[in-house]
Amino acid sequence: MKLSTAKMLLAALATFSVLHAADPKRKENTVILEEAAVANLQLEFTEAEETTFEETIFSLGHIEVLPGKKAIVSSRIPGRAFSVLVIPHQEVDVDAEVAWIESRQPGDPPPVIKLNAPISGTVSKVNIAQGQPVTPDQELIEILDLTTVEATASVPQHLAGKLTPGVKAHIRLNALPDRVFEAKLAHIAAVADETTGTIEAAFHVPNPNKLLRPGMKAEFSIVVSTREGVMSIPRAAVQGDAAERFVYIKDYQLKNAFVKTSVVLGTQNDRFVEVIKGLFPGDEVVTRGAYALGFAGKGSVSLKEAMDAAHGHPHNEDGSEMTKEQIADRDKNHDDHDHTSEHAGWNMLTSFFAGSSGLLLSLLIVAMLKRKEAQSC
């Protein structure tokens, strides 16, 4: 649910006030990077906002053939395979020729019968080769209609009461990590599995591109309830451990600056986590690259340098603005430092010349005394 213009304005004012308040930890919690570093980290952001939050239950399962969408081709008569016209993974239409069987009845040539595909679909198995003997009890060819498949979740029994036909599920597969499939609950198993303590919940998933194949393992996030107006962010944005959770927010006034912000979390689902405290609507939270920011230290630019460049006037090391008194003290200390340096330089030079002159004078006196002694002799 999007915020109204008035709510957005109030949120922005609240954020502005908080960020401008004295924050002794701002320097410690701010990471400021060079442009190249931001590009290398490939950072991505999302805006914190109040949305409809889904409460889910998690379960594991797999993909199966939809009941009634599997067909077996067999021969009514014994004989041998005269020709086999299909191979595994081949798409066939209903009534398409798939094999010819030569009868064992005598004849010249012996009579043959044609085997047709009973349904349209994908050939999954071919259990016959040309010239091979066949009998009526053999399953020669298997054909599957995979335009819709059944995703079966094994739900813990104590959560089964939350399942009602029509509830939605987000389905993910290890084989297709970048895809999320959505489907509605079609039916619940009539009998629970006593060994595993679970009950099967079946979802019918459209599969026009045939990406979902029987046997694939799946993860299910089944939506059992929703709440309106919940502040939430993607789970990937949250860092830290159970004792301290935090996110990185893009600084609203400094370029390439990100502020580490503590948050208090609530419920989470497969994609988002509820934020109870710590964020304001409109905060831009780092999602991709948030983990890497934790190893960036304080970045390559100081907070003081970034604030000076952004505002055009001097700031303290913690990012706060310098008062007139602080500026005056800084300038006075700078002048005193210059004078002190000049005096220190003059004193060192004077000492050097004084020492050198004393040494030369001593050498001259010694030389004169030795010369006088030599003349006396």
52 vs 229: CA distance, rounded Å: 6
Please say if the pLDDT value at position 69 is more than 70.
Answer: yes
pLDDT tens-digit map of 174-225: 999 989 999 999 999 999 999 999 999 999 999 999 999 999 999 999 999 9
Q: Which residue has the higher pLDDT, 305 or 27?
A: 27
By the 10 Å C-beta count (0-12 exposed, 13-18 middle, 19+ buried), 305 is classed as exposed
- Output b/e per residue, 242-265; b: 16+ Cβ within 10 A: eeebbbbbbbeebebbbbbeebeb
Please say if the pLDDT value at position 63 is more than 70.
Answer: yes
**What is each CA distance from 37 to 9, 236, 238, 257, 287, in whole angstroms?**
32, 20, 21, 11, 16
Global model pTM greater than 0.85: no
Please say if the pLDDT value at position 16 is more than 60.
Answer: no
pLDDT tens-digit map of 356-368: 666 666 776 766 7
Q: Is 295:21 a contact under the CB 8 Å cutoff?
A: no
pLDDT band at 171 (very low <50, low <70, confident <90, very high): very high
DSSP 8-state code for residue 317: T
Please say if the pLDDT value at position 13 is more than 60.
Answer: no
What was the pLDDT predicted at 115? 97
What was the pLDDT predicted at 221? 96
Please say if the pLDDT value at position 124 is more than 80.
Answer: yes
What percent of the chain shows pLDDT beyond 70?
72
